[in-house]
A = this chain, B = another copy of it.
Amino acid sequence: MTPPLPKSFRFAATHCGLKSDASKPDLSLIVSDTPAVAAGVYTQNLVHAACVTVNRKLTPGENFRAVVVNSGNANACTGERGLDDTRHMARLAGEAIGAEEKQVLVLSTGIIGVFLPMEKIVTGMEAAAGRLDASEAALVEAARGMMTTDSVHKLAGRTVELSAGTIQITGMAKGAAMIGPNMATMLGVITTDARLDAPTAQQALRSAVDDSFNCISVEGHMSTNDTVLLLANGAACAEPLSGNDLATFQAALDDLCIELAKAIPADGEGATHLVEIEIRGCGSKADARRIAKTIAESALVKTAIAGADPNWGRIVSAAGYAGAAFDPARVDLHLNGTLLYQQGAPVAFDAATVSESIRANRQTDIVLQFGEGEAVARFWTTDLTAEYVRLNADYHT
């Protein structure tokens, strides 16, 4: 189901030749017909792409008109020329829609260390701008244009009733995590016709991303290009959101970001399971998240789930080296609802039944309860399969 569009946004995509398969769009435009506030959250990698460097200086801010996204080339590790190319892309998109360079944000994803073929982008930008449309079909095309090895496009929407009026939040994301032969990049663009001032938009996005896009992992390799943008053009309400309306908006944004974020490990290359890890009863949120992330990134946990093996020792021992303080004698573990480990000691359980529950379900649920406090965290990851290794070890140079 394609979500409805927020007011005064148009979408388009085209194939300009960055991908070899001509049936796959590789250049997307997301345009707000009225100036929008933009917020951004970016990779923490010191080695980051040109577009991250440029966008970071521009957001949060006002008066944005468009986001242009290319797939097939990350424009990362490309030095000064890469920065020039990013700015050139923004200028081209601006010219095509009647806006200035600084009103356009650029996103790139794909191979690292290769310069962008700008002549293809020049041609593609004209074509994309010519197709801009406020239709669900155009929205889907724009979401497809940011895909690399994703098997499905990723869209989510929320329609929210506020005292200020009915607003729409519609987001797209890409990422299939381990992306052979290149590195994964996670990108998200969220559009809304709610009105937000720039600092509020930044805070709302930061908060939503912390519990969603920052809580997913496939192999724990942080990309050079990861970016989530929020564009709020205010077309559906006159005044910036505050008070209860803002809280309602935040809850919808949080929920939408979790839906989009989970779609990334769910589409992980070679993955046969989406794994949801819920940590409860920690002394701090940071501890809970650290434990969740450590379990999510343990190859031993991930291979066990691929093999439908309720190997609780791997899960409990991963928690033990997360760097969070806890009493190992006050830990309970449930896997798909079955208690496997209680107060630091093994529990007799029917391994065949638990194994069958892993095998029969696409999602595996791990719940680890500590006795340290009230803090909780959720994290999503994939299992680790031989197919994933094959996809990423394939010789490509």
Contact = CB atoms under 8 A, between A and B. Distances in A.
A164 to B, nearest CB: 40
A224 interface: yes
Contacts of A43: 321
A213 to B, nearest CB: 15
B389 A389 contact: yes
A46 B287 CA distance: 14
Contacts of A112: 313-314, 317
Contacts of A389: 303, 306, 384-386, 388-389
B224 A346 contact: no
Interface in A212-252: 219-224
Nearest to A322: B46
A299 B222 contact: no
Interface string A356-397: 000000000000000000000000000011111110111111
Nearest to A345: B79
A283 to B, nearest CB: 13
Number of copies: 2
A238 B6 CA distance: 85
Contacts of A352: 397
Contact of A77 (B48, B178, B313, B390): B313
Given A45-B321, A346-B77, A389-B385, A397 B309 contact: yes
Interface string A172-187: 0000001011111000
**Main SS at interface, chain A:** loop
Interface string A111-150: 1111000000000000000000000000000000000000
B395 A309 contact: yes
B113 A313 contact: yes
Nearest to A321: B222
Contact of A317 (B221, B304, B311): B221
A221 B76 CA distance: 30
Contacts of A222: 317, 320-321
A310 interface: yes
Interface string A303-335: 110111111111011111100011011000000
A41 to B, nearest CB: 15
Nearest to A298: B221
A32 B393 CA distance: 48
Given A307-B392, A346-B113, A47 B317 contact: yes
Contacts of A207: none
B310 A113 contact: no
A183 B311 CA distance: 10
Contact of A300 (B78, B221, B318, B328): B221
Given A313-B183, A355-B397, A397-B309, A392 B178 contact: no
A221 B299 contact: yes
A-B CB proximity, top 5 nearest = A112-B313, A47-B320, A307-B393, A351-B397, A222-B321
25 contacts: A46-B320, A46-B325, A47-B316, A48-B320, A77-B313, A77-B317, A77-B346, A79-B329, A183-B313, A183-B317, A219-B299, A220-B298, A220-B299, A223-B317, A303-B389, A306-B389, A307-B392, A307-B394, A307-B395, A307-B396, A309-B396, A309-B397, A386-B386, A386-B387, A386-B389
